[in-house]
Amino acid sequence: MEKANTDFGVGLNAYETVEEIVDKCVEAERLGIDYVWIGDSPPHLYCPSVAAAVASRTKRIRIGLGLLSPLLHTPDQISGSIIPLIEAYGDRFEICLGMGDRSQLLRTGVDTKLAKVWEYVLEAKRKIARNLCASGVAIKIWLGAQGPRMLAASKSFDGVLMNYASPRMIKWAIDKVKPIARKDFDFGIYAPSYVYKKWRPQAYRLLRIASAVVALGAPAAVLDEFGFSKRLRRATEEQEAGLRIESVVRHIPSEVVDSFSIYSPSSELRSYLTELAELSITHTVFGFPQNLSKTTIKDLASALFEPKSSSR
């Protein structure tokens, strides 16, 4: 498939060991994937340290850090971790800011009911940009967004990474941002993904769980806009009652799961990516469980880069 102006990335799971993450990044680079995105999970791994390990073992692949939450890390901490990476390994890094996963923030004792969180994130971005500029560093700063207020705030960033995969939802978001965005602004998505050659039930189960987490954490404005609020009511009640996500997911309709995930056999991915390109998407990140193994990463690369005739 001709890439045109589209970049493809793989999201890495912060719950793995550093060596496992590095090994998969080396494989992703070998396969020709443009980006790896390293998630931040404070109870487990701090992504700048993982990014340093990845950069030391790779040469070309770009490395995204995030989503990084200013509710967990101060602007000085974030900029202070990026500058040494660029000094040591070159201009290969980008970051994505956002509020972060609400349930994870609660587990770490962070107040998620702050008024105007979007203003808090925007001010953090401005401070980070000033710190980087003072050090002579310029990098792309993305905003991770779903709801209308965060989407509106993205005009002050270099691009927006949306956490859903449905073309209908993506078009709705782009229509809100495009009139206020700069000409060099990038639209991207970062969604739970499973692109496969040989279907594996374990990977599909993990995809449903990952998609359920994203759907249940989506802003009410998004769920209302697409008629998902009522359909998620029982799952939400069970989650609030303390049931494990593995139990909650059975109450989430397939349509909702599909809207928040990329799920496709290798042979059918092209048509979906063509649709994304027509919507102005220039950056597609395939999240967990696409990184489940080097085999699943290879399946993705085959779907992205093999000549069309070889997939028949």
- Domain assignment present for residue 79? The answer is yes
- Interatomic CA distance for residues 4 and 275, integer angstroms: 14
Q: Are 37 and 66 in contact (CB under 8 A)?
A: yes
Count: domains in the chain = 1
Answer whether residue 237 is part of any domain. no
pLDDT in tens, 145-195: 999 999 999 999 999 999 999 999 999 999 999 999 988 999 999 999 999
Residue 257 inside a domain? The answer is: no
Whether 221 maps to a domain, the answer reads: no
Question: Distance between CA 154 and CA 22 in Å, rounded?
Answer: 31
Q: What does the pLDDT average to over 6-22?
A: 90
Question: CA 188 to CA 210: how far, in whole Å?
Answer: 19
pLDDT at 230 over 50: yes
Helix pair 294-305, 269-278: axis angle to 10 deg: 60
Q: Say if residues 125 and 152 touch (Cβ distance below 8 Å).
A: no
What is the reported pLDDT for 312? 36
Average pLDDT over residues 202-227: 94
Residue 239, domain member (yes or no): no
Non-local (6+) Cβ contacts of 308 within 8 A are 1, 270
In a domain, 141, yes or no: yes
Res 94: pLDDT: 97
Lowest-pLDDT range, 7-16, 28-37, 126-135, 204-213?
A: 7-16
Confidence band of 16 (pLDDT split at 50, 70, 90) = confident
- Look at residue 296 and tell me if it is in a domain: yes
Asked if the bond preceding 219 is cis, omega within 30° of 0, the reply is: no
**Mean pLDDT value across the chain:** 90
Per-residue model confidence as pLDDT tens digits over 119-128: 889 999 999 9
Decide if 150 contacts 156 (C-beta within 8 A): no
* pLDDT of 311 higher than 60: no
User: Which candidate, 245, 261, 258, places its Cα nearest to that of 213?
Assistant: 245
Q: What share of the chain has pLDDT > 70, as a percent? A: 90
Query: Cα-flanking dihedrals φ and ψ of residue 118, to 5°?
Result: -60, -35
Q: Read off the DSSP letter of residue 226.
A: T
pLDDT reported for residue 108: 61
Between 102 and 233, name the one with better pLDDT. 233
Query: By the 8 A CB rule, do 151 and 173 touch?
Result: yes
Residue 309 CA to residue 307 CA, distance in Å, equals 6
The answer, yes or no, to whether residue 117 has pLDDT greater than 70, is yes
| Mean pLDDT in residue range 262-284 | 96
Q: How confident is the model at residue 239 (pLDDT cuts 50, 70, 90)?
A: confident
More confident residue, 306 or 115: 306
* Domain around 181: 7-199+263-311
Mean pLDDT to the nearest integer, 91-98: 96
Distances (CA, A) of 66 to 69, 142, 156, 179: 8, 9, 18, 26
Q: Which of 82-86, 115-119, 270-274 is the least confident region?
A: 115-119
Tell me the CATH number at 283: 3.20.20.30
Report how far apart the first and last C-alpha atoms of the chain are (Å, whole number): 14
The pLDDT, as a whole number, for residue 111 is 61
Give yes or no for residue 72 having a pLDDT over 50: yes
Question: Is residue 118 included in any domain, yes or no?
Answer: yes
